[in-house]
Amino acid sequence: MSSGDIPASTFRAAAHRVADMIADYFERVGDYPVVPKIRPGDVAQALPAIPPEQPESMDRILDDYQRLVEPNTTHWNHPGFMAYFAITGSKPGVLGEALAAALNANAMVWKTGPAATELELRVCDWLRQMVGLPSEFQGHINDTASIGTLLALAAARHQAPGLDIRRRGMAGRSDLPALTIYASEEAHSSVDKAAVTLGIGTDNVRRLPTDDGFRMIPQALEQAIDEDRRAGRAPIAVVGTAGTTSTTSVDPLRAIGAICRRERLWFHVDAAYAGSAAICPEYRALMEGWEEADSVVLNPHKWLFTPVDCSVLLVRDPDRLKAAFSLVPEYLRTKEAGVTNLMDLGVQLGRRFRALKLWMVIRAFGAEGLRERIRHHGALAREFAERVRAEPGFELCAPVPFSVVCFRATSNASPEEQDRFNERLLDRVNAAGPVFLSHTKLRGRFVLRLAVGNLGTTAAHVETAWRLIREATVGMQ
């Protein structure tokens, strides 16, 4: 009978090979098309349908990885990846992931992960300082902003007076008013998903209109809260967005915060993408008022060069999160006093040691190095926006506060035909291979998005994107 892990010597040789493979990948990723030219099912077809009965050599497994996995990946670490929010799993972050896997620490409670717990709290506090939030905010790490927003809204639901939902639930209760949440029409769908998960329901998420800069209109918020209260509903929270998914607009956070304070509502700020930019004072100025929030979520895995997944939820009063979630079964009771047990702050019990990669990223680049990189991305986006602005037959569709440009080709054709043209334009550009852009709809019209956020992206890559866009436009006329 075999027992135990693979031999140390086998592991060492494979780990050296993996180190080379990763270094090679970083050097050559730009040679791949960003999106693999494959069809759905191609990968599945190449994989054995049944698991191996006998052990296979690490070399053979790694060969298959190189043959089947690496080339058939959409390369988020590609310098031509300019879709959605462009991101980077930087080299220090990759090293942090590897070491975290080796430790396999599960910081459910302090005792099961002392270093993981304390490093997580410290590195979140570094981030808090870097983005300029007040010292009372305490952060912890979740997988995604979707979960951060869910936890914040669960805490909001819990603090709403007289509901006692944690104990009594929501089903079958005639005493329970409809709970309502407010966010702009540009807010991320994770707000609706949180409403689904928390039993609030998507009908009770008020999607408020935005101004010509795609920002929530505070008067519309006040009016909606007032109408809901008059109708006997119970407003519980407002989600302001700092860096909306489509255009990266920033809601008027100061005004929203004042309304929340007056109306006694939880104020959550979704800064999943743009929050990282607040490490630069000039970008932080755009977040004015977020320090009034009860909670702020920001994703180092979006624009702080940390491999997916890593999302930091900063809460002004962690006791309010604990009140919503802390539940300690006997087997998890520990004796240490005054420690943070991370399981108390959310739904999950077990957790990976994500702080290690963020710690390594912040240390390897330094706050100033991170600022320079974010500024560089902003500058590349602005240069691209200038080209669009100056080119007849194109238009910018939204302001460019950070590193995302919304634009489209225009003509005298009907709006619907222009939409179809831009859709085909996007397909053509992406089919070429060197770059990958995405789209959105603004005020119902199809719009292209170019996002800069990968550490490998240079002016030459943005230039390539622009050349491909113009060539495709000419080719389609």
Which of 157, 188, 206, 215 binds ligand PLP (CB under 6 A)? It is: 188
Residues linked to residue 296 through DSSP beta bridges, in sequence order: 269, 314
Q: Between residues 100 and 250, which has the closer beta carbon with respect to ligand PLP?
A: 250
Tokens of 352: 């990976």
DSSP characters for 213-274?
A: TS-B-HHHHHHHHHHHHHTT-EEEEEEEEBS-TTT--B--HHHHHHHHHHHT-EEEEE-TTG
Residues whose CB falls within 8 Å of the CB of residue 241, separated by 6 or more in sequence, listed in order: 183, 184, 186, 187, 188, 216, 249, 250, 251, 269, 270, 271
# residues contacting ligand PLP (CB under 6 A): 15
Q: Is 146 in the site for ligand PLP (CB under 6 A)?
A: yes
299 binds ligand PLP (CB under 6 A): yes
| Nearest residue (CB) to ligand PLP, 86 versus 409 | 86
Q: Which of 204, 245, 247, 473 binds ligand PLP (CB under 6 A)?
A: 245
Which residues 6+ apart lie within 8 Å of 469 measured at CB?
A: 425, 429, 448
Tell me if the bond preceding 42 is cis, omega within 30° of 0: no
The answer to whether 447 contacts ligand PLP (rule: CB under 6 A) is no
Q: How far is the CB of 4 from ligand PLP (least distance, A)?
A: 38
In the shown chain, the binding pattern of residues 67 to 86 toward ligand PLP, with x for contact by CB under 6 A and - for none, equals ------------------x-
Q: Is 354 in the site for ligand PLP (CB under 6 A)?
A: no
Residue 244, CB-side half-sphere exposure with 13 Å CA sphere = 27
Nearest to 149 by CA among 256, 293, 264: 293
| Interface with ligand PLP (CB under 6 A), residue from 90, 117, 184, 241 | 241
Q: Rounded CA gap, 307 and 309, in Å?
A: 6
Rounded CA separation 53/75 (Å)? 32
What residues pair up with 395 in beta bridges, in sequence order?
408
Site for ligand PLP in 303-332 (CB under 6 A): 311
Q: Is 190 in the site for ligand PLP (CB under 6 A)?
A: yes
Tell whether residue 197 is a contact of ligand PLP (CB under 6 A): no
Candidates 236-244, 322-330, 409-417, 428-436; binding stretch for ligand PLP (CB under 6 A) = 236-244
Looking at beta carbons only, is 320 or 449 nearer to ligand PLP?
Answer: 449
Residues that bind ligand PLP in the complex, under the rule CB under 6 A: 85, 144-146, 188, 190, 241, 243-245, 270, 272-273, 299, 311
